Structure 1
């Protein structure tokens, strides 16, 4: 049912400052700076090869503005939501309705780029919290307009979302949702000794949803926690970030074999953030 992770939403209080920070981390300029007049938000989009990151701020009145303000009040800046892409939203909606889920109506969405005047239009299906397990989630079908094609080949810049981390207190229910309801491939479900946790890895559009079971947490809702961003040369990326005066840990071998990692400790918009290089 789900074709891809269309994008991740990052709630921010100061869009200009967040844009400056994420530009340092990604290494390239955003491809879109726009406004959603109908829902009261403004956004900045950073394109990756397999998805995009959307900085979202409250700049007016409307449903979106209220959602951002509420998230910032309760959590501060950080990962606010995940958006799944489909080719035919009506088919996806019908599939969920047949499974017995109660859904609100499909909504029309639109955005305009402040720099170019370009417009994009889409339709989307908000998912109720009992279906999304508390993570702000919607399913989108793009109708008109598109973002530029990803073309950044610099080995020092971020080019891909390697994985997004979700924390849960109920792994079996997560598997029921992602694998059995969304039809996302479950690549691995195992107990990882290094973290002393049960972890599940769901794969789609060359990225991974990494779910970590936190049995010590009583909250029945899941949480979007952090992201790992892939680079082709971590040595070059690390040197670039140091020049940009971003606080970053030393490069070290990752938990996964044949990887190198470092942690971004500043300019990260409140998101636990890792850079990773796959050596083979």
Structure 2
């Protein structure tokens, strides 16, 4: 049913500031698309796209993003899944008990407090060109992070209902966390739960994005020179990988960069 991650949307108030920030962070030039009362910037990658969106006037999209900003502020807003057959996928998720609404050429799904979209995907999109050297730019998305207070509910939602491929379920007492790794096309959905907090029915929440880089030292130096607060490059949890954090990414999105090939 779901063939991959189409895009992740980040809602922001100041469009120009956020787009410039992601341009400097990702090291890539965006494609601008004003439509339906909202301004959008698309950063295209081989395995997904990042959509930066802000309200700009009257229109359904502008109304939706304004409502999001009023209720929850800036940040990760939507994860959009690619499907081969939109109508069939929407019917199946509805039969599996999810709240599904057709809106134009997509279907919106509300589940565990998060917003998802089903779409037949972007067509003809090419990787956004680098602003400088390819080696220092972000190459792809490694994984999306979701925090859940209820890991069994997460297994039922992302595994049984959405049909994502569960590749790993591990609990680490040293880290105080249980982690579920779901394959989603060329990316990973990492769902984390605290082992120190009681299980509850509170909503899930998006917890950040982890981007792949081919040369972590070059990428870290470039992003630091662009004015971001970045950590030092350090060994990742997965042997042989290196990671660094960007502490002030646009829209307040927790952001990690990881050496290409790792899934931490």
Query: What TM-score, normalized by structure 2, do the two folds share?
Result: 0.90
Whether 1:200 and 2:180 are equivalent positions in the alignment is: yes
Kindly indicate whether the alpha-carbon contact (under 8 Å) linking 1:23 and 1:29 is maintained by their aligned counterparts in 2: yes
Aligned to 1:103, the other structure's residue is in SS state: strand
Q: 1:146 to 1:35 in 2, by over 3 A?
A: farther
Query: Match for 2:108 among 115, 126, 131?
Result: 126
Whether 1:163 and 2:143 are equivalent positions in the alignment is: yes
Whether 1:210 and 2:190 are equivalent positions in the alignment is: yes
Kindly indicate whether the alpha-carbon contact (under 8 Å) linking 1:83 and 1:139 is maintained by their aligned counterparts in 2: yes
Query: What TM-score, normalized by structure 1, do the two folds share?
Result: 0.85
Equivalent pairs, count:
258
Q: 1:267 to 1:190 in 2, by over 3 A?
A: closer
The two structures, once aligned, show a CA RMSD in angstroms of 2.1
Q: 1:274 to 1:175 in 2, by over 3 A?
A: same
Query: Match for 2:54 among 49, 52, 57?
Result: 57
Unaligned runs of 5+ in 2: none
Kindly indicate whether the alpha-carbon contact (under 8 Å) linking 1:22 and 1:269 is maintained by their aligned counterparts in 2: no
The residue number in structure 2 matching 1:120 is none
The residue number in structure 1 matching 2:220 is 238
Aligned to 1:195, the other structure's residue is in SS state: coil
The residue number in structure 2 matching 1:80 is 77
The residue number in structure 2 matching 1:115 is none
Kindly indicate whether the alpha-carbon contact (under 8 Å) linking 2:29 and 2:129 is maintained by their aligned counterparts in 1: no
The residue number in structure 2 matching 1:97 is 94
Deviates further, 254-263 or 16-25: 254-263
The residue number in structure 1 matching 2:14 is 14
Aligned to 1:266, the other structure's residue is in SS state: coil
The residue number in structure 2 matching 1:137 is 116
Query: Match for 2:103 among 90, 102, 107?
Result: 107
For residues 57-98 of structure 1, the C-alpha deviation after alignment (integer angstroms, 9 at most, x for no partner) is 011223332332233233332111111111210121222233
1:156 is displaced (CA, Å) by 0.8
Kindly indicate whether the alpha-carbon contact (under 8 Å) linking 1:258 and 1:278 is maintained by their aligned counterparts in 2: no
CA distance in 2, matches of 1:97, 1:243: 48
Kindly indicate whether the alpha-carbon contact (under 8 Å) linking 2:28 and 2:128 is maintained by their aligned counterparts in 1: no
Aligned to 1:257, the other structure's residue is in SS state: coil
Q: 1:186 to 1:228 in 2, by over 3 A?
A: same
Kindly indicate whether the alpha-carbon contact (under 8 Å) linking 1:126 and 1:139 is maintained by their aligned counterparts in 2: yes
Kindly indicate whether the alpha-carbon contact (under 8 Å) linking 1:21 and 1:269 is maintained by their aligned counterparts in 2: no
For residues 226-258 of structure 1, the C-alpha deviation after alignment (integer angstroms, 9 at most, x for no partner) is 111110000110111122122211111112221
Q: 1:266 to 1:47 in 2, by over 3 A?
A: same
CA distance in 2, matches of 1:21, 1:103: 33
1:12 is displaced (CA, Å) by 0.5
CA distance in 2, matches of 1:230, 1:141: 25
Aligned to 2:208, the other structure's residue is in SS state: strand
CA distance in 1, matches of 2:199, 2:229: 30
The residue number in structure 2 matching 1:2 is 2
Query: Match for 1:184 among 123, 147, 164?
Result: 164
